[in-house]
Amino acid sequence: MKSILIAIICSFFYVAATGQNVGIHTSAPTRGKVVVAGAVGSTNTIISSFSANSGVSLQANYPAIGFNQYYTDQNRYINAGKAGILWQNMTNGSLLFDVFNTSGTANNPALSPVRVMTISQNGNVSLNAAEANASLFVGYTASNYITRLQGTTYHSEFNRTQDAQGITIINGGKAGADVYINDQSSGSINIGGTLGVNEDAAGAGTTLHIKQYNRGLVLVEPSTFNNWEFNTTKNLTDPASDFYLYYNGTYKGNFFYVDGSYNPISDARLKKNVKPIQNALDRLLLLKPVQYLMIDNNPNQKKAIGFLAQQVHKVFPETVNIIKEKDMGYPGLDELYTMNYDGLGSVIIAAIQEQQAKIREMEQRNADLKKRIEELKKLKTNKP
């Protein structure tokens, strides 16, 4: 018996020395240094310590690597604890990773595995889900985050299922960090449902609900960085709040909370070259009020009254603004005339004042004529 054991040991030394391939249950180990053709169930090899602690199994049908798991008639634990298996589906070429979350004991059957990751043959990756037609697909797991991205201090969480609503939070990694969504000038960001800025918009009743901090909303022209700012500010003389407008940080006017009227800035200390309007009445009489329909495709539009800006521009150019821009929605037009109708109010008042001065002058003349007539009558009566 001892001689047979020595012979076996020597044969192993010979194989190792000569570099020959070793075959187990095969006489032609030509495809590797060690070829195992047999299996117990689907398990070809188990690698573990002498005390049969947790180990790794190599399996066939399907090709797999088991972690504290092997397969005979069914999935079984190599040793007490939890287990997992990485295997390939030979039908579609996918690589799958399953885990057995429930702890078991050595050689006992393992419960049904949980699919934690799938890598399809085209490179798509699915987490906590079967194969999906997406480069990265993250499936839902009860009482868990679908996705959590860990930051230095703060984290981003997608569908935080601990909350009844399944909240998604996107944070910068540190306090004061910026968060960018599409930092390119092209492309679009589409948001469905109610959107809240600086607050929870649930039940807000508006599509966009913004709670401002410090100042409000700023629209910046990208080539010059000129900007308009809109915000709501507490009226200093009233407990209510008005809607304010700023241009490049300078206040321009506000909408009054009581009736929504617009109040442009009109402080005398901010004006120069102040002159009265000349010949307001005569010029006002040159204007031609009209009624009209706008040229559009609305068959139900109502008639409007007003002025033609080009005609007003000849008389009161100060009330007309010419916008020279392209792509304003009017084919063939690269400039548009707009009017400041409020400015005509000042002209009307100046015209009324001029007219009232003429009326007073005529009244004075009439009074003087009456006085002279009375004096002439007296002279005629007292004549001998």
Return the domain boundaries, the chain: 1-38, 208-269, 280-371
The structure's pTM equals 0.60
Buried b (16+ CB within 10 A) or exposed e, 133-148: eeeebbeeeeeebbee
Mode of pairing for the β-strands spanning 125-127 and 136-138? parallel
- Range 122-151 average pLDDT: 82
Beta strands in 113-201 (DSSP E): 114-119, 125-127, 136-138, 145-149, 156-160, 167-169, 195-197
What pLDDT is stored for residue 169 in this prediction?
83
- Residue 169, classified by CB atoms within 10 Å of its CB into exposed (0-12), middle (13-18) or buried (19+), is middle
Whether the per-residue pLDDT at 140 is higher than 80: the answer is no
Whether the per-residue pLDDT at 58 is higher than 80: the answer is yes
Identify the band that residue 5 occupies on the pLDDT scale cut at 50, 70 and 90.
very low
Q: Give the model confidence (pLDDT) of 245-285 as tens digits.
A: 999 999 999 998 889 999 999 999 999 999 999 999 999 99
Q: State the Cα–Cα distance between residues 315 and 364, nearest whole angstrom.
A: 32
What pLDDT is stored for residue 52 in this prediction?
63
What pLDDT is stored for residue 165 in this prediction?
64
Q: Give the model confidence (pLDDT) of 322-333 as tens digits.
A: 998 877 788 888
- Residue 277, classified by CB atoms within 10 Å of its CB into exposed (0-12), middle (13-18) or buried (19+), is middle
The verdict on domain 280-371 having CATH code 1.20.120.550 is no
Q: State the Cα–Cα distance between residues 179 and 378, nearest whole angstrom.
A: 97
Q: What are the residues whose beta carbons fall under 8 Å from the beta carbon of 343, sequence distance 6 or more?
A: 316, 318, 319
Strand ranges of the sheet holding 217-220, from the earlier edge strand across to the other edge? 217-220, 227-234, 241-247, 250-255, 262-264
Nearest to 59 by CA among 44, 74, 46: 44
- Range 87-114 average pLDDT: 92
Q: In this structure, are residues 7 and 22 in contact, taking their beta carbons and an 8 Å threshold?
A: no
Q: Give the model confidence (pLDDT) of 147-204 as tens digits.
A: 788 888 888 887 776 666 677 888 888 888 898 888 887 888 888 888 888 887 766 6
Range in 5-9, 51-55, 145-149, 355-359 the model is least confident about: 5-9
Q: Is the peptide bond before 62 cis (omega within 30 degrees of 0)?
A: yes
Q: State the Cα–Cα distance between residues 189 and 178, nearest whole angstrom.
A: 17
Whether the per-residue pLDDT at 113 is higher than 60: the answer is yes
What proportion of the chain, given as a percentage, has pLDDT over 90? Answer: 46
Q: Measured between alpha carbons, how far apart are the two ends of the chain, in Å?
A: 184
Give the chain's mean pLDDT: 86
